[in-house]
Amino acid sequence: MGASTGLAGADLFGTMIEYHRNDVGAALRDWAERLKPLVANIQKMGVERRFFFTPGTQMQIATRPVAARVIQLPLAGPVLNRMAARQRNKQQSDSFAVSSAA
């Protein structure tokens, strides 16, 4: 998420510089206002899903390989992937709605 967010942030900054006609201060303010909700959402997801990357209990350690195998099952995998995609799309649209309102 860091590399892609960095690239998206750089692209957005270029767009803001172009939009604000080389007024760097205004471009930076607008860029920060638009990027903050996205970064906050990514950070929130990291905290919510930290157990997958850094399991802290025996149950979380045991659950991780099971979840990875379930995702690969012919029936369960596509269903779970679609559910995850819907959740990501909802979170992204919520982030963009917040940034568009600002």
Prediction pTM value: 0.52
Residue 98 has pLDDT above 90, yes or no: no
**40-85 per-position pLDDT tens digit:** 988 888 887 777 778 788 887 888 788 777 777 787 778 877 887 8
Q: Would you give the DSSP letter of residue 20? A: T
For 55, phi then psi, to 5°, come to -60, 135
Q: Please, where are the H alpha helices in the chain? A: 2-19, 24-48, 50-53, 58-71, 76-101
